[in-house]
Amino acid sequence: MILASNSPRRKEILENFGFNLKVITKNIDEVSDEEDIIKRIEDIARKKVSAVAEVYPNEFVVGADTVVVVDDKILGKPKDEKDIYEMLHSLSGKSHKVITSFSFVNISKNISISDSEVSEVYFKNITDEEISWYIDTKEPFDKAGSYGIQGKGSYFVERIDGDFFAVMGFPIGKFVRTLAKNSISLDDIKKL
């Protein structure tokens, strides 16, 4: 199976479940005309996967997109340290939504599946000193919302309501259940 993402977290989650992956990505404009936030994130995930699937029409291709939403504002990956400070300050002491959408395509088999998982994450109050410490770890630079729940960013998390793996970058449970609903069994996974 092809993973249309450079995310080491997505690769780790899928490989730990038993998928054999090749990572192949295409650069796309990560934009969507969809009004609804969840549909917009699904559309972007689908575009990422479709760009690769068009080149490899006989392969199964999977990909995802994750965003953090706080106060109706979407937080993607930070551009710089200033961005990290602003994002973490906006998350401090409150809850936010993490939306991860996935897409699974095989053009020759006429398979195109997309779905999403929404989780609620609650943060403790974060000090400037803690943000500086976190920036020094280099961890927040490539992560939506400027934190990784599976790493040192877990220090900020008081609790989550939802799917830990979706917050990490890929809702593996929902993905596998969705495959099963589409007649792809657990035994088929190693063959993908």
CA distance 73 to 76: 10
Phi-psi region of 146 (alpha: psi -120 to 50; beta: other; left: phi over 0): left
Strand runs labelled E in 71-172: 73-75, 95-106, 111-123, 157-161
Catalytic residue among 33, 36, 43, 65: 65
Q: Is 65 a known active-site residue?
A: yes
C-alpha torsion sign, points 176, 97, 167, 86: positive
CA distance 65 to 177: 19
Closest by CA to 94, choosing from 71, 117, 122, is: 122
Closest by CA to 30, choosing from 57, 3, 5, 1, is: 5
Identify the helix (H) or strand (E) that includes residue 2.
strand 2-3
DSSP 8-state secondary structure symbol assigned to residue 13: H
Residue pair 18/185 in contact (Cβ under 8 Å)? The answer is no
Active site residues: 65
